Chains A and B, each alone.
Chain A
């Protein structure tokens, strides 16, 4: 009996050795970089090696709240981050509405077609989105040609260099890219609604809008709630790719969100240590938000999403 259990143990350890190389990859690419947070406490200036860097304690963290130039910059960056995330949160019901009304289309081929073409933008990269934006909205692009032909403007508008409505136009591009894809979750949820509910309501004389308001939308609210919590957990994580490709020297002030600011601080101005300090703070706040949103989800809906 004892022999069998040691044999079993040996086998389980042997299986562990099979997955060990993959675990090492996880350790190296996801856990080891955490060690890089120590850069925030040193005066690290590449290409000088890290071993020669001077320990400065909390100097960089203090500079984030004491240096007036930096404080002004950071306030603007936070404003941008909050504005973009708030726009996304405030319109997070759009995919649900999209799915609900798409479901009202009776012609199946048309519905399939709409679903296919509206999810397509999700699968092109941000560089391509920018290329599309560039092609359509530069001085000889389709938008300017059309407006000039119609006699609305005499001179081309430089849409991409514009400093007004940067938050809103970025939100528009994000929505263009994501709306159809985000709706898929809701479309699947609608398919799961019991048809008898609709039949019963119809017998009672409910019209289409009443069916939507009283059956479809209430059935989708749980899904909406979970996705909303995930959105809240990601409040500070706007990603940098979108804003990096759309940024230029004109709109930089309004387009720099935290993720992009972290990148620009290190790669643009070479302040690696400050950049690491900021991203460290960001990570901590993000984890707190995630845990908080998860707790809220547990309290209100009785299930967690982590």
Chain B
């Protein structure tokens, strides 16, 4: 499949596709981080995660509209306001959902899957009724347009770079929260041994709710970042959800590093192959390889070793 390309052309192709893969990587990381901390903490898969992301995207869309009509002078900075709003709204909704249904289903993870799927159907239809079935996009502020010319053949769009920076800063933030804070210590204690954590006085139900809200909030930020590189429709979230599940499972459910590594691997493989094969075949091959590896190594790339 490499026939007919010179080596320098191949290098540029890999660099360009690699960068295209990095935007995909950013979306995967942002979505997968939220999913991974929820799954790692509670063993619950949130099928409505994509819809939380879209909620963040619509929040950004509304915020940009608000800034355009009322505060045009501050338009350059609306994105940061939108990001905070998206986080808060999604986290609040997440906490509410946890209180309403998830906490009743902790012993039945498979049922949680179905209940959150039902939630995702409702949220999708709500978006369709409120915002219409058409995809909406936001206007990028001036400074985010354009691209940086690296070499003759390679140029990097600024909005892609920006999204990547957000993804990495959130990943670092989550790392510090999980490994360097009191809250993180409690979360890890509950993950490793719930009864013992409760025995030493950790309020595991409170930790559960906070973690679920945090995961949903990060999904909201993911949605805000997503608007910078693509348009948002009621069912955009569903397009990413299977890939994101695979990223989480492939990385090893309770390992944040594993999640990032697997997001990187999957997105790079997919985008590099996309150049040489058709888009659908690239996706099929990537998913097949991931499923194949998971069949051989079900615990994922980097499994947390816990005594059960």
A, B bound: no
Binding site for A on B (CB under 8 A): none
Binding site for B on A (CB under 8 A): none
